[in-house]
Amino acid sequence: MLTYLIRRLLLMVLTLLGVSVAIFLLLRIVPGNIADILFDSAGMIDPAEKKKIIADLGLDLSLPAQYWQWLNGVLHGNLGFSYVSEKPVIDEILPRIPITARLAGLALAFAICAGVPLGVLSAVRQNSKLDYALRVLSLSGLSMPSFWLGLLILMACVHLFGTIPIYDRAPASFGAWLAMLAVPAAAVGFRSSALIMRLTRSSMLEILRQDFVRTARSKGLSEGAVTYDHALRNAVLPVITTIGVETAFLFGGLIVTETVFNIPGVARFLVEAIRWRDYPMVQNLVMFIAIVVVTVNLLVDLAYMLVDPRIRYSE
């Protein structure tokens, strides 16, 4: 087990290193930098002034020198300064991480609490009217874009309540946070719940046809014990994988939702940083999302052993 963890941690480091190289090069491949944007928007044409800005930002250095300067700073806890606000990157990112984490966590909780029970119910009541209704609901969830659903919710709230549930100030209590983020979390979590529900249903149907389930029924166990203690426990592994993927997606895929509901989170801020070619901000935000993804993948693999004791990772 220890050897496996060491291998995974080394693989995580190599993955993050590859991501850092990729995002660094992709930003430089895109035409234009912040100096070009500033001069075009202000109508300036003084080449000397533009050259001075480029030199002050270190953009006149070679690509290997720029990459090493950034990587060396990250390793020493110095993420650099934003080109736009001129504030430390860490001061710009840290206040936005809890906002996105709350929204993603609430959306994930909604997806799990709705998707898993409905998936089990759909499998147990296979080919019933309830099953057909739940399958139609799941297909609509997979087909409906979250931003379109969010706009429909906004219009419905305006029509019914005369107000728009958007982020206008930092809530003072946990209850206020919950009320503020419940609507966007449900909008973005609806698609995830539909995916989890369909996967739970298909996995449960496969397990319910196994011999050990029929043996459990023949021993006189209750239907609840057969469904939850035997079938669901063996059907949950692919569901855990999907939950892990959705967790990683929610941290980096909330761009449209945060924009529609005016939520000042990480994903929305990343788009603004890309638009301004704010290299330090974009690079560090992408690295943060990459760290979340690889960490979640590791936790999912470790969760397999807790759910199914038969799984053991070789030394």
Domain identity same for 23 and 156:
no
- Per residue in 250-297, pLDDT (tens digit) is 776 677 778 777 788 888 888 888 887 888 888 998 898 889 889 888
pLDDT of residue 212: 83
Beta bridge partners of 81: 88
- Per residue in 206-226, pLDDT (tens digit) is 888 888 888 888 888 787 788
Q: What is the 3-state secondary structure (H, E, C) of 228-294?
A: HHHHHHHHHHHHHHHHHHHHHHHHHCCHHHHHHCCCCCHHHHHHHHHHCCCHHHHHHHHHHHHHHHH
Give 306 or 200, the one with higher predicted confidence: 200
Give the chain's domain count.
2
Q: Is 107 exposed, middle or buried (0-12, 13-18, 19+ CB in 10 A)?
A: buried
Q: In this structure, which amino acid lies at residue 159?
A: H
Give the DSSP letter string of 53-95.
Answer: HHHHTTTTS-HHHHHHHHHHHHHTT---B-TTT-SBHHHHHTT
Domain identity same for 229 and 144:
yes
Percent with pLDDT over 70 in the chain: 89
Q: In this structure, which amino acid lies at residue 236?
A: V
pLDDT of residue 275: 80
> If you average pLDDT over every residue of the chain, what do you get?
82
Task: Give the separation between CA 176 and CA 151, rounded to whole angstroms.
Answer: 22
Q: Does 196 map to a domain?
A: yes
The DSSP output letter for 60 is: T
- Per residue in 28-46, pLDDT (tens digit) is 887 767 776 666 655 555 6
Domain identity same for 197 and 258:
yes
Task: Give the separation between CA 215 and CA 113, rounded to whole angstroms.
Answer: 29
The DSSP output letter for 225 is: I
Task: Give the separation between CA 215 and CA 83, rounded to whole angstroms.
Answer: 66
Domain identity same for 249 and 208:
yes
> What count of other Cβ atoms lies within 10 Å of the Cβ of residue 235?
25
Of 93, 113, 129, which residue sits at a domain end? 93
Task: Give the separation between CA 12 and CA 23, rounded to whole angstroms.
Answer: 16
Sequence-distant (6+) residues with CB within 8 A of 313 are: 1, 4, 301, 305
Domain identity same for 118 and 253:
yes
Q: Does 62 map to a domain?
A: yes
Q: Does 295 map to a domain?
A: no
Q: Does 145 map to a domain?
A: yes
Domain identity same for 57 and 158:
no
Backbone angles phi, psi at 87, to 5 degrees: -100, 160
Q: Quick one: average pLDDT of 111-120?
A: 91
Domain identity same for 106 and 227:
yes
CATH number of the domain that residue 122 is part of: 1.10.3720.10
Give 129 or 225, the one with higher predicted confidence: 129
Domain identity same for 176 and 232:
yes
Give the DSSP letter string of 1-39.
Answer: -HHHHHHHHHHHHHHHHHHHHHHHHHHHHSS--HHHHHH
**Domain range holding 221?**
97-264
Of 46, 66, 93, which residue sits at a domain end? 93
The residue behind tokens 């296979």 is: 126
Q: Quick one: average pLDDT of 126-154?
A: 85
The answer to whether residues 138 and 111 touch, using CB atoms and an 8 Å cutoff, is no
Q: Is the per-residue pLDDT at 310 higher than 80? A: no
Domain identity same for 153 and 245:
yes
pLDDT of residue 113: 92
Q: Does 279 map to a domain?
A: no
pLDDT of residue 21: 93
Token pair, residue 80, equals 């650099």
Sequence-distant (6+) residues with CB within 8 A of 29 are: none
Of 264, 282, 301, which residue sits at a domain end? 264
Task: Give the separation between CA 226 and CA 124, rounded to whole angstroms.
Answer: 11
pLDDT of residue 15: 93
Q: Does 302 map to a domain?
A: no
The three-state secondary structure class of 86 is coil
Domain identity same for 109 and 217:
yes
- Per residue in 142-195, pLDDT (tens digit) is 888 777 787 788 788 777 777 766 666 666 677 777 777 888 888 888 888 999
Q: Does 213 map to a domain?
A: yes
> What count of other Cβ atoms lies within 10 Å of the Cβ of residue 31?
6
Domain identity same for 66 and 79:
yes
Q: Quick one: average pLDDT of 118-138?
A: 90
Q: Does 184 map to a domain?
A: yes
Domain identity same for 177 and 137:
yes
Q: Quick one: average pLDDT of 196-200?
A: 92
Task: Give the separation between CA 211 and CA 220, rounded to whole angstroms.
Answer: 15
The answer to whether residues 205 and 197 touch, using CB atoms and an 8 Å cutoff, is no
